Amino acid sequence: MDIQQIKQRFGIIGNAPQLNRALEVAAQVAPTDISVLVMGESGTGKEIIPQVIHQLSARKHGAYIAVNCGAIPEGTIDSELFGHEKGSFTGATGSRDGYFQVADGGTIFLDEVAELPMQTQVRLLRVLETGEFIKVGSSKVLKTNVRVIAATNENMQQAVRSGKFREDLLYRLSTVPIHLPPLRERKDDIHLLFRKFANDFADKYKMPAIKLTNDGVNYLQKYSWPGNIRQLKNLVEQLSVIEKTRDISAELLTTYLDISEETVPNVVSKQSAGDNFSERELMYKFLFEMKNDLNELKKLVGELITHGPSDYKLTADQTALVSRMYKDPIEDTAHLLAAPSSVANMATPIAEKPENHGDEDFDHVVDSDFEEHEEVEDSLSLNDLEKEMILRALQKHRGKRKYAAQDLGISERTLYRKIKEYNLSI
């Protein structure tokens, strides 16, 4: 099957050389069982490549399961992928088959594979290498014959360097890498996609199709399209429903897209653009990080009190923590080991140092005062600031968790957990 036949069969629009190359590679690897990693920015249509590979393979009559790894909570993803036995965890009222068991003989598409927890990455590597897996709560080894196709919008080499993703798993997944180009590199395809979406929404809403003027075409081709094809489709739907005129000019498009605004991928460069994080929001971020330091400091004090300063050695992370809290890390680390009460007093300034107490009274005072301060200050101050910061980031990006997480400097999975924790409505 040639490239044009593939496009017609799967409804793919465009003639960009990078797109044609991606489809050509997909067609070549389809008859094999080679693992494929699809890379590209969010909204470029990465999900179509696994479908092409599956339908052109000998597995086309088997199951095809698409899994969004970033949308499954970390505590349940092993159960979703590999299944679980009855009673293996709270709420496991019965045995359940995972996707790798259900899709035996077929294909599994792991979207946003970079969001997989490290423990799950180990399990996935074993499946890829041996075809074996174990259900959660079981000791029985099961076999599966599944082809794995993964996709990501992240820089995987950077994820490996930062310790977020296993290097051996990356090499196993990316036997054949396929890159989909962003829409800004497919300028000649923008008008074709616009007309396709315009006709689709005209049929859907029973109205005449909108069309671009010449200056409108030029305007869209100059735009950077941070949301790629998904953003273009949403724009066409808005124009089709909201605008009464069917001729879309550049002047009209300026009310929907500001071509003067550059899409900046990180907080620092956005700050230099002058219209993003304010000083107050940056202070919130500082407090958000300081909260983690205080929690770690609390654990350190507890360990010092439990084990005794003479028997306890600071780890590298704990030494770095002390360095952030003290001006002279070497001198004050020694002071910390000599007198753990100094750390308690530093972390809890409202607790007065007890006088003329024995060791038993000292432990009681430090424990009770420290816990009381942690509960009041942390829950009523830092948690509120953290919640407000998350809300502001979500509002700023209109509920798009990926970009809100980037601004906050946390992973999308962590943001999802915080939203659930604070019961935030977007």
- Write the pLDDT tens digit of every residue in 337-347: 444 444 444 44
Instruction: Phi first, then psi: give them for residue 39, nearest 5 degrees.
Output: -120, 150
Task: Report how many domains make up the chain.
Answer: 3
pLDDT of residue 267: 37
**Do 45 and 169 have their domain in common?**
yes
| 149 in any annotated domain | yes
Element (H, E) at 84: strand 83-84
**Do 222 and 131 have their domain in common?**
no
DSSP string, 218-248: HHHHHS--TTHHHHHHHHHHHHHHH-S-SEE
The stretch 17-22 carries a mean pLDDT of: 95
| 259 in any annotated domain | no
DSSP string, 294-332: HHHHHHHHHHHHHH-GGG----HHHHHHHHHHSSSHHHH
**143 pairs with which residues across the strands?**
132
Decide if 40 contacts 185 (C-beta within 8 A). no
pLDDT of residue 417: 81
Query: What percentage of the chain reaches a pLDDT higher than 70?
Result: 72
Domain closes at, from 212, 237, 253:
253
| 209 in any annotated domain | yes
**Do 159 and 244 have their domain in common?**
no
| 264 in any annotated domain | no
Higher pLDDT: 294 or 135? It is 135
pLDDT of residue 226: 93
**pLDDT tens column, 376-386:** 444 445 677 77
DSSP string, 33-54: ---EEEE--TTS-TTHHHHHHH
The stretch 321-349 carries a mean pLDDT of: 47
Contacts of 203 (CB under 8 A, 6+ apart): none
pLDDT tier for residue 74 given thresholds of 50, 70 and 90? confident
Q: Is the sign of the CA dihedral 234, 235, 238, 240 positive or negative?
A: negative
What is the Cα–Cα distance from 312 to 315, expressed in whole angstroms?
A: 10
Pairing, β 107-111 against β 64-68: parallel
pLDDT of residue 308: 59
Give residue for tokens 């910390």: 336
- Token pair recorded at residue 422: 């604070």
Domain closes at, from 159, 181, 203:
181
Domain closes at, from 162, 181, 200:
181
Give the structural domain span for 36.
3-181
**Do 113 and 153 have their domain in common?**
yes
DSSP 8-state symbol, 135: -
In terms of C-beta density within 10 A (0-12 exposed, 13-18 middle, 19 or more buried), how is residue 35 classed? middle
**151 pairs with which residues across the strands?**
38
Nearest to 90 by CA among 79, 99, 101, 98: 79
| 224 in any annotated domain | yes
**212 pairs with which residues across the strands?**
248
pLDDT of residue 94: 87
pLDDT of residue 101: 95
What is the Cα–Cα distance from 293 to 107, expressed in whole angstroms?
A: 44
**Do 398 and 311 have their domain in common?**
yes
pLDDT of residue 93: 83
Nearest to 416 by CA among 72, 68, 43, 41: 72
Decide if 176 contacts 213 (C-beta within 8 A). no
Decide if 191 contacts 217 (C-beta within 8 A). yes
The stretch 99-120 carries a mean pLDDT of: 95
pLDDT tier for residue 416 given thresholds of 50, 70 and 90? confident
Q: What letters, b where the CB count within 10 A reaches 16 and e where it falls short, cover 376-415?
A: ebeeeebeebbbebbbbbbeeeeeebebbbbbbebebbeb
Task: Identify the CATH number of the domain in which residue 137 sits.
Answer: 3.40.50.300
Higher pLDDT: 297 or 107? It is 107
Q: Please calculate the CA angle 113-116-118 and round it to the nearest 5 degrees.
A: 135
The stretch 288-296 carries a mean pLDDT of: 68
**Do 225 and 306 have their domain in common?**
no
Distances (CA, A) of 320 to 147, 261, 323: 44, 40, 5
**Do 85 and 45 have their domain in common?**
yes
pLDDT of residue 21: 96
Decide if 373 contacts 366 (C-beta within 8 A). no
**Do 246 and 140 have their domain in common?**
no
What is the Cα–Cα distance from 7 to 255, expressed in whole angstroms?
A: 33
**Do 170 and 24 have their domain in common?**
yes
**pLDDT tens column, 231-276:** 999 999 999 999 999 999 999 999 999 776 544 343 333 333 344 4
| 266 in any annotated domain | no
pLDDT of residue 259: 74
What is the Cα–Cα distance from 417 to 386, expressed in whole angstroms?
A: 13
| 258 in any annotated domain | no
Task: Identify the CATH number of the domain in which residue 210 sits.
Answer: 1.10.8.60
Higher pLDDT: 16 or 423? It is 16
Decide: pTM greater than 0.85: no
Rounded to the nearest integer, the mean pLDDT of the chain is 80
What is the Cα–Cα distance from 416 to 408, expressed in whole angstroms?
A: 12
The stretch 298-326 carries a mean pLDDT of: 62
**Do 317 and 364 have their domain in common?**
yes
pLDDT tier for residue 30 given thresholds of 50, 70 and 90? very high
What is the Cα–Cα distance from 226 to 211, expressed in whole angstroms?
A: 22
**Do 191 and 166 have their domain in common?**
no
| 390 in any annotated domain | yes
**Do 416 and 347 have their domain in common?**
yes
pLDDT of residue 385: 75
CB atoms within 10 A of CB 151: 26
